[in-house]
Amino acid sequence: DAKTTQPTSMDCAEGRAANLPCNHSTISGNEYVYWYRQIHSQGPQYIIHGLKNNETNEMASLIITEDRKSSTLILPHATLRDTAVYYCIVRPTNRDDKIIFGKGTRLHILP
Amino acid sequence: EAGVTQSPTHLIKTRGQQATLRCSPISGHTSVYWYQQALGLGLQFLLWYDEGEERNRGNFPPRFSGRQFPNYSSELNVNALELEDSALYLCASSLRYTGKTQYFGPGTRLLVL
């Protein structure tokens, strides 16, 4: 599976947009970009995923560059409850299989 | 719609004992995945069950095993517990079709003394 690179940690002020970057330069054409987050000691929560178009749902927006080598997860109005570890993952579209989690980005929302 | 549920929430065992963890998937999901998250480590894939069959397993010893029942719920069994088995065990479920999103439960925290 393609590997991803994320910053170890980030800070964001409450009420501001949080922009979390992810590099996936070796992504294949049949691989999705997925984002999950894990609030302390809880199970990972699915946020959003996309293949090549930008995606938006009630939680976040996902912006994927045209060459698909990087993406940005945007939380439009961060709250203290968004403090978590955010994982960017690439997964093939043609396999049922395990998710390979990296170390993710620890996002701190500052009051 | 109910999410993935896991029981118990916490489990305390001693070395050498056996632990049984349970998972109920989201209604309609036939695939169940198990992951281990030891303290300070990342999430590691353990097992994948679908339609009652073990489809894949991660790099864990055979004392980690499980099964999936006809109603698609699943059990994870850990035999001959060791101290390093202390971890958060997470279950996820998905639809059967390839590449579908996995949804995680709240986890079972196992402590081995």
HEC string of B61-98? CCCEEEEECCCCCEEEEECCCCHHHCEEEEEEEECCCC
pLDDT score at B1 = 66
- Chain A partners within 8 Å of B101 (Cβ): 34, 46, 49
pLDDT tens digits along A52-90:
989 999 999 999 999 999 999 999 999 999 999 999 999
State the Cα–Cα distance between residues A75 and A70, nearest whole angstrom: 17
Tell whether B106 lies on the interface with A, counting CB pairs under 8 A: yes
With CA atoms as reference, the chain A residue closest to B54 would be: A97
- CB atoms B102 and A46 under 8 Å: yes
pLDDT score at B18 = 98
Q: Residues 68..87 of B with a Cβ closer than 8 Å to A: which?
A: none
Mean pLDDT of B34-44: 91
Phi, psi torsion values for A81, nearest 5 degrees: -70, -10
The minimal CB distance from A98 to the residues B42, B45, B109 is found for B45
Q: What is the bridge-based pairing of β-strands A9-13 and A105-110?
A: parallel
Tell whether B60 lies on the interface with A, counting CB pairs under 8 A: no
> Between the CA of residue A47 and those of B37, B46, B87, B89, what are the distances in Å?
20, 23, 24, 21
With CA atoms as reference, the chain A residue closest to B89 would be: A43
A23: number of Cβ within 10 Å: 16
- Chain A partners within 8 Å of B48 (Cβ): 96-98
State the Cα–Cα distance between residues A49 and A63, nearest whole angstrom: 10
- Chain A partners within 8 Å of B103 (Cβ): 46
Tell whether B100 lies on the interface with A, counting CB pairs under 8 A: yes
Tell whether B66 lies on the interface with A, counting CB pairs under 8 A: no
Q: Which of B77, B80, B74, B79 is nearest to B92 (CA)?
A: B74
Amino acid at A53: N
pLDDT score at A62 = 98
Sign, CA torsion B76/B45/B42/A38: negative
State the Cα–Cα distance between residues A94 and B6, nearest whole angstrom: 28
pLDDT tens digits along B53-105:
999 999 999 999 999 999 999 999 999 999 999 999 999 999 886 668 999 99
pLDDT score at A18 = 98
pLDDT tens digits along B18-30:
999 999 999 999 9
A33 touches A93 (CB < 8 A): no
With CA atoms as reference, the chain A residue closest to B94 would be: A96
State whether residue B49 is helix, strand or coil.
strand
Nearest-CA distance B98 → chain A (Å):
5
- Which letter does DSSP use for residue A98 in this model? -
State whether residue A82 is helix, strand or coil.
helix
B7: number of Cβ within 10 Å: 13
pLDDT tens digits along A14-36:
999 999 999 999 998 888 999 99
- CB atoms B99 and A103 under 8 Å: no
